[in-house]
Amino acid sequence: MNNRRNWLKQVSLGTLALGFSPFETFANPRSENYVYPDTDKSPILLRSNENPYGPSPLARIAMTKSVNSSNRYGWNLYPQLITAIAKKNNVSDHNIMLGAGSTEILDLVLQYSALNKGNFIMAETTYDYWTDPFEKLGLKKITVPLTKDKKNDLPAILKAIDSNTKMIYICNPNNPTGTICDREKLISFITEATKKAIVFVDEAYIDFTKEQSLSELTVENKNLIITKTFSKMYGLAGARLGYAIAASSTIGELSTLKSSPNLSVSIVSAAGALASLNDEKFIQQVYAANEEVKKYTIEQLTRLNLTCIPSCSNFIYFSLENYKKDFFKQLEDHNILGTKIYEENGKWTRITIGTMKEMQQFIAAIK
Ligand code: PLP
């Protein structure tokens, strides 16, 4: 406790001396970037929707301390983390399974859905990096266009379900468009669709909204699986920690596909995640900063005559149709990493919301 107090004191004194708000200094200075150590000037990372401020101060302390126990397995720590996650999501411990990032959960649900051959359905423009193995596992991909306002088209997805459909993926909020489904409509959709197939809802970005997770619905519905992650709001992308929420029987089924469920998580990541769940102040600060910087960035992009989709996340989807220069060259020349064109029609791209300073640099770069 004393160490923690001293640490926080040091951080506060250091930040006051530098004239920053204490919160800003939790952001990794670019000159100390461990992931890009070889570049003279590490890039501004606006590509992967990471949290530019995290990990949280409490997570940093817990992770640093836990390093000394890395010679031990985390048998005693995983149940504590599972209990804390279950509590946060208003479910029981047996409704949770941990993964090394939600990517492990995505892969697992993919394998689970492919146990019986057939097809799976997702929006045409959504988070789909994880779906390549589907074909190999014998599942055919069916895509459904987004609505005009770039939302998951739930009625159209419902219509696309046939007797061979094994799984439907709904990213909510949707990556890359940042749109969210109306809660009541999504619940009705789930009620209908889970009569026929597994509905897999990815809530990686739900913490950037005021919306409540659908976690509680899983308890009574064995065909609904939700995945969440510590990579975004909690700033632990590199630590790799995500989880599944499902009915206990479904968690049991998923567990049969793993030799040792939960064991892919390191104790350092588990300790960081556990501490993060208690760092409410940090979460509120990240939420507020993201809202403020999002507002600024959308205003600036709109001034440049670039249409933006209202965002319920930590990234912005916008159209380059009216942009006269080579957007990606501008980014490259200014050492900024962005993404790609997701939809040719309208030239839609996505940018992650970094710190205010980073977004000011981004806007200056594309002006
Ligand atoms: N789901 C969505 C919608 C994402 O955008 C990402 C990463 O960007 C992931 C899942 C995977 O995240 P992780 O494996 O870090 O939890």
For 169-213, the pLDDT digits (tens) are: 999 999 999 999 999 999 999 999 999 999 999 999 999 999 999
The structure tokens listed for 109 are 């649900």
* Gap between the Cα atoms of 367 and 365, Å rounded: 6
Write down all domains in the chain, each with its CATH number in brackets: 67-276 (3.40.640.10)
Q: Which residues contact ligand 1 via a Cβ below 6 A?
A: 48-49, 101-103, 127, 171, 175, 202, 204, 229, 231, 237, 242
Of 100, 23, 20, 15, which is closest to residue 56 (Cα–Cα)? 23
pLDDT tens digit string along 81-120?
Answer: 999 999 999 999 999 999 999 999 999 999 999 998 999 9
Atom of ligand 1 nearest to the CA of 230: 16
State the virtual CA torsion across 293, 290, 294, 126 in degrees, nearest 10. Answer: 150
Atom of ligand 1 nearest to the CA of 105: 14
The structure's pTM equals 0.93
Contact 190, 165 (CB under 8 A): no
Of 175, 166, 234, which is closest to residue 200 (Cα–Cα)? 166
Measured between its terminal Cα atoms, the distance across the chain in Å is 49
Mutate to test the pocket of ligand 1, among 102, 313, 340 (most ligand atoms within 8 A of CB): 102
Ligand 1 center to 48 CA (angstroms): 9
pLDDT at 74: 93
